[in-house]
């Protein structure tokens, strides 16, 4: 099968490409390298079944493929708030371009949406029927509302033009190849601990998140794309942790002597985030299998390797 992955040089996109290539598909990676990294896909550059195109999806492109995994969009607050107008253009114009392509060539289209469509949720855990509590004019709106519009576009293209769509609402995902400076909580804490710096906890750390290891997430995306269920479907780990618990876990695994530093909560930071994955279990036969401790161990070792000389002289990751 010939498959297009937009944002394919990014964190999740590159892991998805690894799986698709291993399964014997022809893969086209489309990326403008705003947050993607060519090193993530270097292993495939010389393969006759892999093609890399540097392209910004806010501009149209003509390709022939069977499936489109649409992942292109900065997904961390640091990056999507740096240029919020570009972020919403990517979500709206980019999604329009990819849906238009899917319509013309009759490709199946998977939208990588986000748990941020739920905003600061008033129900817990979050089910797909919940319509969200989103601030339309806040500093996160370019991403939150952009993804909500992207979902609208996907369903309108399905209803009006019979485009085969799949919509995944991705919850916090972590693993190797996360960017050092992406501002996400796992990478922030791991990098700070490895550098011997105090671990930043926002608020009192009682806000919660769920953490899905990237290989589990990729498995869910592939099952959704190749199944009969359109979605939207939550893909995430239903185990809920407070940010303080996560910080203390990272602290114990890397450097128990490093301090915790408490900072004010950012604007519109969700208080709770936990997916109800009943739909994923029912329709995809999917649920996460990688425990947080195991996933963190692999993530820490990846950061340790990439940071090299910038890592503080601390003990290796413990096994407990």
- pLDDT, one tens digit per residue, over 237-264 is 999 999 999 999 999 999 999 999 999 8
Write down the pLDDT at residue 319: 36
In this predicted structure, the answer to whether residue 265 has a pLDDT above a threshold of 90 is no
Give the residue-averaged pLDDT of 73-87.
Answer: 79
Place of tokens 């990729």: 218
Is residue 80 part of the annotated active site? The answer reads no
- Annotated catalytic residue: which of 143, 174, 213, 241? 143
Q: Band of the pLDDT at 83, cuts 50, 70, 90?
A: confident
Give the residue-averaged pLDDT of 71-87.
Answer: 81
Torsion of CA 95, 98, 100, 104, to 10 degrees: -160
**Helices (H), ranges, 128-213:** 141-161, 185-194
CA distance 30 to 244: 37
> CB of 215 within 8 A of CB of 290?
yes
CA distance 33 to 41: 12
Q: Band of the pLDDT at 271, cuts 50, 70, 90?
A: confident
- Within 8 A by CB and 6+ apart from 152, the residues are none
CA distance 43 to 133: 42
> CB of 133 within 8 A of CB of 120?
yes
Alpha carbon of residue 126 to chain centroid: 17
Write down the pLDDT at residue 313: 56
User: Is 0.85 surpassed by the pTM of this model?
Assistant: yes
Give the residue-averaged pLDDT of 150-163.
Answer: 98
Write down the pLDDT at residue 268: 64
Q: How many residues does the chain have?
A: 320
* Tokens (6 digits) for 192: 């700070």
pLDDT tens, 193-221?
999 999 999 999 999 999 999 999 999 99
In this predicted structure, the answer to whether residue 318 has a pLDDT above a threshold of 60 is no
Cis peptide bond prior to 199, omega within 30° of 0: no
Structural domains of the chain, ranges and CATH numbers in brackets:
2-174+213-235 (3.40.50.720), 185-209+238-273+290-310 (3.90.25.10)
CA distance 296 to 119: 26
Nearest CA to 57 among 73, 78, 81?
Answer: 73
Lowest mean pLDDT among 3-12, 49-58, 309-318: 309-318
In this predicted structure, the answer to whether residue 314 has a pLDDT above a threshold of 60 is no
Handedness of CA 10, 16, 19, 24 (dihedral sign): negative
In this predicted structure, the answer to whether residue 76 has a pLDDT above a threshold of 70 is no
Write down the pLDDT at residue 80: 74
Percent of the residues in the chain that have a pLDDT greater than 70, as a whole number: 95
Task: Supply the DSSP symbol for 182.
Answer: S
* Tokens (6 digits) for 197: 């710096």
Torsion of CA 13, 15, 19, 22, to 10 degrees: 110
The count of C-alpha atoms lying within 13 angstroms of the C-alpha of 148, restricted to the half-sphere facing its C-beta, is 17
């Amino acid at each position: 099968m010939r498959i297009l992955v937009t944002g394919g040089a990014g964190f999740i996109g590159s892991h998805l490409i690894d799986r698709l290539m291993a399964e014997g598909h022809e893969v086209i990676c489309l990326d403008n390298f705003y947050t993607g990294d060519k090193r993530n896909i270097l292993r495939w550059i010389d393969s006759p079944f892999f093609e890399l195109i540097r392209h910004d999806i806010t501009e149209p492109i003509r390709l022939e493929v069977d499936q489109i995994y649409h992942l292109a969009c900065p997904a961390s607050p640091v990056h999507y708030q740096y240029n919020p107008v570009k972020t919403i253009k990517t979500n709206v114009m980019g999604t329009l371009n990819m849906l238009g392509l899917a319509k013309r060539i009759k490709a199946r289209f998977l939208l990588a949406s986000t748990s941020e469509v739920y905003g600061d949720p008033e129900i817990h855990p979050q089910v797909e029927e919940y319509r969200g509590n989103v601030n339309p004019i806040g500093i996160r709106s370019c991403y939150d509302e952009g993804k909500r519009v992207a979902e609208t576009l996907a369903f309108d293209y399905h209803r009006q033009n019979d485009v085969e769509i799949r919509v995944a609402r991705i919850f916090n995902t972590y693993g190797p190849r996360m960017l050092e400076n992406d501002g996400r909580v796992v990478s922030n804490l791991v990098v700070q601990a490895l550098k011997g710096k105090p671990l930043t906890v926002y608020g009192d750390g009682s806000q919660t998140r769920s953490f899905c290891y990237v290989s589990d997430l990729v498995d869910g995306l592939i099952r959704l794309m190749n199944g009969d269920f359109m979605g939207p479907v939550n893909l995430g780990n239903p185990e809920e942790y407070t940010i303080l618990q996560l910080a203390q876990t990272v602290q114990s695994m890397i450097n128990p002597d490093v301090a915790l530093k408490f900072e004010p909560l950012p604007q519109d930071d969700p208080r709770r985030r936990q997916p109800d994955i009943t739909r994923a279990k029912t329709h995809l036969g999917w649920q996460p299998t990688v425990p947080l401790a195991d996933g963190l161990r692999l993530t820490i070792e990846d950061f340790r390797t990439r940071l090299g000389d910038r890592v503080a002289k601390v003990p290796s990751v413990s096994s407990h």
